[in-house]
Structure 1
C-alpha cells in the first residue's frame, strides 16, 4: 500500500473535528470501481496488512482503507468519552459519508462502490447499506454482528483479561495505535456495557437493496452462524457463506477460501449488471 495520508473531517453537532488516517490502493486503476475496507473493533490500516491490496488486484478494483476515529493514527478517543450504544451506526451514517465527501468520492463513484467490512466493520457496512440503499454497488460483511451473543461477550471478557495481564497483547496492539488504551477500551467498554446487551439491528436490515454477501467461519470464537443466518432471513437476496475454518479473521487465517467466495460473488454481480 501507499503511505498513509490524513483527511480532516469538520466538526458537527454530534462530534468534534477528526483527523482520519487513510490510504488508496490501485490508484492506477482510475476508472475501476472502488472498494472501501472497514476494519474490526481493534483494527486499523496497518492491521489489515496486505489483504486489501491482494483482493483489489484480484477484483480489478481501486481500494480505500482507513482507520476509524480512536484507531491507528486517526484522532484518538478521549479517555473520558465512552462510545454510545449506536456507535457503529454513527460510523456508517456520519463518519464514512463525511470521509467520502472529504476525499471527493462523487455520487457516481459511490453508486459503483463496494463495502468490505470485517466484524465491527461488517456491521458498519450493513448500516451503510440500509441507510443508503442506492449509494453502493454491493457489500461484503465478514463475521458481522447484528445482535449480541453470549459467546461474543465471553470472548471480549477473555481478551480484556489478556490485555490487562502480562500476555504481550497490549504491547502488540500498541504497534498499530497511537493511543492503544483509547482503542482497546473504546471497544471493550461498550461491548461489555449492560446497556449494550440488548443492542440489535435486525429490524434495519430489511432496507438493504444492494447485493450482499455475508460470510462467517464455523470456528469463529466471537460469534456463531446465527449472525449470518439472521441476515439471510432479513435480506432474502443476500448470499450467506459458511467457511469451514478461518476463525474470527478469515482474511488472515483462510484468505484463499474467503477471497474465492468474494470474487465469485462480485463477478456474478458484474455479469448480472451487464446483462440487465
Structure 2
C-alpha cells in the first residue's frame, strides 16, 4: 500500500489580492498528474491546516480517483497570519465561503467547467464553509460532503470551546498545535475569540442552507464533544435530499475516529452522483 504522505505535492503559495490587503495562501495539489479528473477541495476545521489533515486527503483522493486541493485559510498553517489586534466578525465563515474560496479558485485558474465537477469536503468550520459555498454558488460544484458541520451554536459548543481555551493557556495543547501553524496564536485566538463572541450565540444558518440543490452528504459522530445530532437533523429538515451518516463511537473528527466508514460513505456518495 502506498504511503499517503509520499505522493503529496510540494507546498506552494499564492497571493490573493483584496480591496484592503493581500494574503498569502499555502496550498498543495494531490494527484496533479490526473489532469482530467474531478477536483476534491478540502476545507479544514477551526484549528486546522494542511499539516493537520495529515495523510487523509491523499487517501480519499486515491479512493475517489480524483485530484485534490488542500489549503490553509488565512490565519492558519503557513498562510498569512491574522494580525494580533484583528477580531474576526460573526460572519467570518460566510467571508471564507463567499470571498476567500472563490478568490483562491480564481488565482489557481480553476475554470467554470472544472468547478462544475468539483467536490467540497469540509470538516467542522470547513463543513460550514462548504455549506455556505454551495448555497452561494450552486452551479460551481458537483456536490459536498461535510463532517461535523455547524449550523447554529449549542450550549455544548460554547462549553467545548471554552474548555479548549483553558487547555491552550494552561497545558501543553499550545505546544502541540505549534507543529501545524507558523503563528499558533493567530490560529487559536482567531477561531476561539470568534466563537466565544457573545454576538455569535445568535448565529444560525439553518434557513440559509435550505436553497442548496447539489448532492449533500453530512456525517457526524454520535459522541461529538462540540455538537449534538441536532445539527444533522436540522440539515435533513432544511435540505430534503441530504444524505446523513451518524457514526457510533466517534467524536468530532470522523475522518480520524472512523476513517474506513467515512471513506466508504464518501466514495459511495460520489460514485452515485458523479456525472
Q: TM-score, normalised by structure 1?
A: 0.96
For structure 2, the 5+ residue unaligned runs are 1-7
Match of 2:149 among 134, 144, 164: 144
Quick check: 1:119–1:145 contact (8 Å CA) kept in 2?
A: yes
Quick check: 2:219–2:254 contact (8 Å CA) kept in 1?
A: no
Match of 1:44 in 2: 49
Spell out structure 1 runs of 4+ moving beyond 2 A: none
Match of 1:261 among 256, 265, 273: 265
RMSD (Å) for aligned C-alpha atoms: 0.7
Provide the C-alpha distance between the structure 2 equivalents of 1:231 and 1:138, rounded to a whole number of angstroms.
Answer: 15
Provide the C-alpha distance between the structure 2 equivalents of 1:113 and 1:245, rounded to a whole number of angstroms.
Answer: 31
Shift of residue 245, structure 1, vs aligned partner: 2.5
Match of 2:239 in 1: 235
Match of 1:94 in 2: 99
Quick check: 1:130–1:207 contact (8 Å CA) kept in 2?
A: yes
Shift of residue 175, structure 1, vs aligned partner: 1.0
Shift of residue 246, structure 1, vs aligned partner: 2.3
Provide the C-alpha distance between the structure 2 equivalents of 1:183 and 1:153, rounded to a whole number of angstroms.
Answer: 18
Quick check: 1:76–1:182 contact (8 Å CA) kept in 2?
A: yes
Q: TM-score, normalised by structure 2?
A: 0.96
Provide the C-alpha distance between the structure 1 equivalents of 2:11 and 2:173, rounded to a whole number of angstroms.
Answer: 24
Provide the C-alpha distance between the structure 2 equivalents of 1:191 and 1:146, rounded to a whole number of angstroms.
Answer: 13
1:109-188 correspondence runs (5 A): 109-165=114-170, 167-188=171-192
Provide the C-alpha distance between the structure 1 equivalents of 2:250 and 2:77, rounded to a whole number of angstroms.
Answer: 24
Match of 1:30 among 19, 28, 35: 35
Shift of residue 96, structure 1, vs aligned partner: 0.2
1:211-222 correspondence runs (5 A): 211-222=215-226
Shift of residue 116, structure 1, vs aligned partner: 0.2
Provide the C-alpha distance between the structure 2 equivalents of 1:6 and 1:53, rounded to a whole number of angstroms.
Answer: 19
Quick check: 1:8–1:18 contact (8 Å CA) kept in 2?
A: yes
Provide the C-alpha distance between the structure 2 equivalents of 1:116 and 1:253, rounded to a whole number of angstroms.
Answer: 16
Provide the C-alpha distance between the structure 2 equivalents of 1:267 and 1:243, rounded to a whole number of angstroms.
Answer: 21
Quick check: 1:134–1:209 contact (8 Å CA) kept in 2?
A: no
Quick check: 1:131–1:207 contact (8 Å CA) kept in 2?
A: no
Provide the C-alpha distance between the structure 1 equivalents of 2:35 and 2:250, rounded to a whole number of angstroms.
Answer: 33
Residue by residue over 1:111-166, the C-alpha shift from the partner in whole angstroms, topping out at 9 and shown as x without a partner, is 0000000000000000000000111000011000000011111001111000000x
For structure 1, the 5+ residue unaligned runs are none
Say whether residues 1:245 and 2:249 are aligned partners: yes
1:48-67 correspondence runs (5 A): 48-67=53-72
Say whether residues 1:18 and 2:23 are aligned partners: yes
